[in-house]
Structure formats: C-alpha cells, structure tokens
Amino acid sequence: MIFIRKLTALNLAAGIKVRRIVGRIEDNYYNNHFLMQHDLFRELAIHISNQEPFENRKRLIIDVNGNHRPEWWPQQQQQQSIITHTLFYITKWFKDPNQKRVSALILSISTDQNINPDWCNIQADDAIVMVLNLKTTEYTLPKFIKKMRDEGVLIVTNYGFLPTELTNLRILESSWTLKRIRLQRVSGPYLCKLKSVCKLSLYMCEVKKAFENSSVEFSNAMPNLVDLNIEYCDDLVKLPTGLCDTATLKKLSISHCHKFTELPREIGKLENLELLRISYCADFEKLPESTTKLKNLRFLDISFCVSLKKLPDKIGELQNLTKLYMTGCPIHELPDSVLDLKNLESVICDQYAFHLWEVIASCCSRLNIKMSDMDVSLNWLLELGSQGFFI
C-alpha cells in the first residue's frame, strides 16, 4: 500500500477506489480496493517495456486479437521448399522451431473471443507471475504453463459479460511452485490437485459445479491452503466437502454471496483458523456451535448478515478473539458467555447492539466499542432492496 500511495502521489494512478467496504484499513483488508490508470500512462509503460527485444523483457505484455499475433511472433510461410519442409520435421524431433523462449518474470496475455487456443507456443521458464485477460465464454489454458518452473502466481480475469469456463485445468497439477491463484468471472468444471497453492481468491465466479460435484476432496485438492477468499459468487450455497479437513487454513473470507446459507458443522476442526469473515451474506442464518472450538480465532466479521439473529451460546470459549465486527446483524441479545472473552479488544456494531456492548464494556476496561457509519448501513439496505430481499 505504501508503493500504491506513491504512485497516486505522482499522478501515475487515478486514486484508490473502493467497491464496497467490507473490512477496515486498520485490518489491512484491501480486497475491494483497486487503482485506475489513465490509458496514456498504460500505453507509455507498454511502449517503454517494448524498447527491449522481447526475449529480454522482464515484463512481457501480449495482446492477441483473433489470429493476429505480435509482430515478433514467428510467421510460418504459406509455401515451403522441399528442403525447408524436410528440415522442419527433422528439427521438430529435437526442438520446436516455432517456440519462442522469453525471460519475462511477469507474463501478461490478453485475448478476445476469437482466439485460437493453439496459438501460443512460448517457453517461459523464468515467469513467476502469469496474467490472463479474457473476453470469451470458453478458454483452454495454454499448454506451455505446464513447463513453467518458477510460476508463483496465476491471475485469470474475464472482462466479458458471461463467465469463462476454463478447460485443461489439470496442467496446473504438475506445478510445484504455484502459490497463489486469483480467478474473476470464471467457471471451473471440477477441482484439480494443487498441492502447493497457499491462497485462492474467487471473485464473481461460478463455483457450485466445482465445489459440490467434484470427485476430489477439497483437503486433498489443496492440502496446503492457508487463505481462501470468496466474493460475489452468486451460486455459492455451501462450502465444499472436506474444507474442514484442511488443517493449514488460517483465513476464511466469504462476502457478498447472498445465497450462502451455512458453514459446515465441522468448522471447529480448523484448529489453525485465525480469521473468519462471513459478511454481506443475506441468507446466512447461523454460526455453528462448533465455531466456539476455533481456539486460535482472533478476528470474526459477521457484518451485514441480515438473517443472523444470535451468537453461539458458548462464544466465550473463543479465548483468543480480539476483534468482532457485527454491524447490520439483527442481534438483540448477547449470550452470557461474552463476559468470558477476556482478550476481546474491539467491537464494531450498529446503534441497535451498541447499548448491549456498553454494558459488557463497563466490566472490561480494555474493550473498545465503536458504532458503525450509518450511511454504510443504509446503502447496504438499499442494495438488498434492489435485489428483491425487501418489499
């Protein structure tokens, strides 16, 4: 964020925008923040990057429209002599003559709906970040990804109106260096085994098919997952079977998933979970009693879950809980066990629950109670009304 603020101060970015307030800045939650860049600055940055030979660029940006390839891409001749034709097939046994090796650390490929999936033949062994910008309802992941040794981050963003269905996902299973995946407006038909992935972010994706119909248990698909973030996934109703067996999980965040109704009863098995955020989920009704077994939980956010009417009776067993956000929840009574939350330092709620926590604060000098901004609450209610939750 320090680097981003420097860009803003230099007018290289048009300022930090916020899609919807979920967390607060003091919690280092920036998932809904993004930067806008002027087209001229983007073109200038690409122009400067393109001054070097493509094979030496550390940031390689490829824009492909239809079958139009970049100028530096090798063009196969329509007609070849017999000698050239013979040499082509001889050399193909050893190395593909049309494959281009690049040394880019960041590789960005933008394609439109007319792209031929076999167009790309790159050797990008050094790439650590792979960005795919799509405008198509179906997309086959490039085969060269399988041979990328150092890839750490994969970002797939679909800018079309309909979700992109990704195919050929199993080529990712061979990567032992892929640490983070972020998918936006994407549909995946199944879960694949991603042994090294630590963070998975799903934004405006279709996840029901992959989560509920997969033959692979979630804990076996991503056994080292630490951070799972799901936002604006309208078809999410429940979490996949096996998530609670992912012992490494520390952060679980679900927001703006209006059809999401419940957490698994076995949620208490996530003994290393430190952050649990279920916010802006209109149909979410209940925190399972096993939530109180999350002994390492430090942060609980249930903001704007308008169907959630009570906290677990034994919530006081969350001895490490330090922050609780519950704005917009119709909770009119607190369980007696909240008095046992000895490490609770901060509670953010609306005016309806504020007086309840004031009584608790009188018994605990370290507890800080804040009333949320009512403008935010009003905007959220208006958004719910526009989606038919209220008449």
Per-residue pLDDT, 373: 67
Cα-Cα-Cα-Cα torsion 103, 104, 110, 115, nearest 10 degrees, comes to 10
* Contact present, 198 and 185 (Cβ < 8 Å): no
In this structure, are strands 251-255 and 275-279 parallel, antiparallel, or unpaired?
parallel
Structure-model confidence comparison of residues 335 and 190, the more confident one: 335
Amino acid at 28: N
Domain 52-69+90-228 identical in fold to domain 250-391: yes
* Contact present, 203 and 232 (Cβ < 8 Å): yes
As a whole number, the mean pLDDT across the chain is 80
Q: Is the pLDDT assigned to residue 387 strictly greater than 90? A: no
pLDDT tens-digit profile of 310-352?
999 999 999 999 999 999 999 989 999 999 999 999 999 988 8
Q: Is the pLDDT assigned to residue 21 strictly greater than 50? A: no
Per-residue pLDDT, 89: 40
In this structure, are strands 186-187 and 164-167 parallel, antiparallel, or unpaired?
parallel
| CA separation for the pair 158, 234 (Å, rounded) | 16
Residue spans per domain, the chain: 1-48, 52-69+90-228, 250-391
pLDDT tens-digit profile of 260-277?
999 999 999 999 999 999
* Strands of the 186-187 sheet, one edge to the other: 138-140, 164-167, 186-187
Per-residue pLDDT, 115: 63
Structure-model confidence comparison of residues 376 and 366, the more confident one: 366
User: How many H helices and E strands in the chain?
Assistant: 7, 20
CATH number of 52-69+90-228: 3.80.10
| CA separation for the pair 284, 305 (Å, rounded) | 6
Please, which residues bridge with residue 279 across strands? 255
Per-residue pLDDT, 69: 64
Per-residue pLDDT, 63: 80
In this structure, are strands 16-18 and 33-35 parallel, antiparallel, or unpaired?
antiparallel
Q: Which CATH architecture has domain 250-391?
A: Alpha-Beta Horseshoe (3.80)
Model pTM? 0.83
Mean pLDDT calculated for residue range 32-61:
77
| CA separation for the pair 208, 260 (Å, rounded) | 11
> What's phi and psi for 43, nearest 5 deg?
-60, -40
